[in-house]
């Protein structure tokens, strides 16, 4: 069982949350490092698709870095955590490939099978 999540939440201003997403008690977390181009790409992807995220900059938040290492076993970003689904050090294509393996998480995030 994963520990409680932090309370900070980020949503795209002016963009409604995907109405097909299943409401969960926990929000997905995206661990990033400022200036990381892969992190920026991931943030743009989630923003484009209306996925509400908690953003944690591990260079500015030692607790976030510790949590990311705890759940993923590594220090590279971006790292995505949602319940027991964790994808570390990914490109958007790699994230989507991992997500296709877990259709219930894909549905919970409101991402269709043909997302790019």
What are the structural domain ranges in the chain? 29-109
Domain 29-109 has CATH 1.10.3720.10: no
Q: Is the pLDDT of residue 15 over 80?
A: no
CA separation for the pair 24, 104 (Å, rounded): 12
pLDDT digits (tens, 9 = 90+) for 49-79: 999 999 999 999 999 999 999 999 999 999 9
Q: What is the pLDDT of residues 96-105, one digit of tens each?
A: 999 999 999 9
Among candidates 73, 80, 74, 75, which has minimal Cα distance to 55? 80
Q: What is the mean pLDDT of residues 14-24?
A: 44
Rounded-to-integer distance, Cα 20 and Cα 30, Å? 20
Query: What pLDDT is attached to residue 26?
Result: 78
CB atoms within 10 A of CB 101: 9
Q: What is the pLDDT of residue 38?
A: 96
pLDDT top residue among 92 and 7: 92
Sign of CA dihedral 57, 91, 16, 107: negative
pTM check: above 0.85: no
Q: Which of 6-15, 36-45, 89-98 has the lowest mean pLDDT?
A: 6-15
């Amino acid at each position: 069982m994963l520990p409680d999540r932090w309370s900070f939440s980020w949503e795209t201003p002016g963009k409604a949350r995907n109405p097909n997403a299943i409401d969960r008690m926990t929000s997905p977390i995206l661990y990033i490092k400022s200036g990381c181009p892969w992190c920026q790409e991931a943030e743009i992807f989630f923003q484009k698709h209306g996925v509400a995220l908690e953003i944690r900059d591990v260079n500015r938040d030692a607790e976030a870095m510790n949590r990311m290492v705890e759940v993923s076993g590594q220090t590279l970003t971006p790292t995505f955590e949602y319940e027991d689904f964790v994808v570390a050090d990914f490109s958007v294509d790699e994230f989507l490939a991992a997500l296709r393996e877990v259709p219930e998480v894909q549905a919970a995030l409101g991402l269709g099978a043909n997302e790019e």
